[in-house]
Amino acid sequence: MRQMIVGNWKMNGLTAPSRDLVSAIAQGLEAIPNPPPVVVCPPFTQLAAIGPLLKGTGIALGAQNCHHAPSGAHTGDISAAMLAELGVEYVILGHSERRRDHGELDETVREKAVAAMEAGLTPIVCIGESADQRAAGEYQDAVGWQIKGSLPDNFNGIVAYEPIWAIGSGVPASTQDIADMMGFIRAELTRQFGEAGKTMRILYGGSVNGREAPAILPIAEVGGALVGGASLKADAFLPIVRAAIDL
Active-site residue, 95 included: yes
Q: Helices (H) and strands (E) in the chain — how many of each?
A: 11, 8
**138 catalytic, yes or no?**
no
Which residue out of 97, 104, 129, 162 is catalytically annotated? 162
Residue 61 CB neighbours (<10 A) = 23
Is the Cβ–Cβ distance between 66 and 112 less than 8 Å?
Answer: yes
Catalytic residue among 95, 97, 104, 129: 95
**Which residues 6+ apart lie within 8 Å of 29 measured at CB?**
35, 38, 57, 58, 59, 238, 241
Three-state SS at 49: helix
Backbone phi, psi, residue 93, to 5°: -130, 145
User: CA-to-CA distance for 132 and 10, rounded, in angstroms?
Assistant: 25
Collapse the DSSP code of 221 into the 3-class scheme (helix H, G, I; strand E, B; otherwise coil) and give the result.
Answer: coil
Closest CA to 217 of 185, 183, 188, 242: 242
Q: Is 247 helix (H, G, I), strand (E, B) or coil?
A: coil
Q: Which residues are catalytic?
A: 95, 162
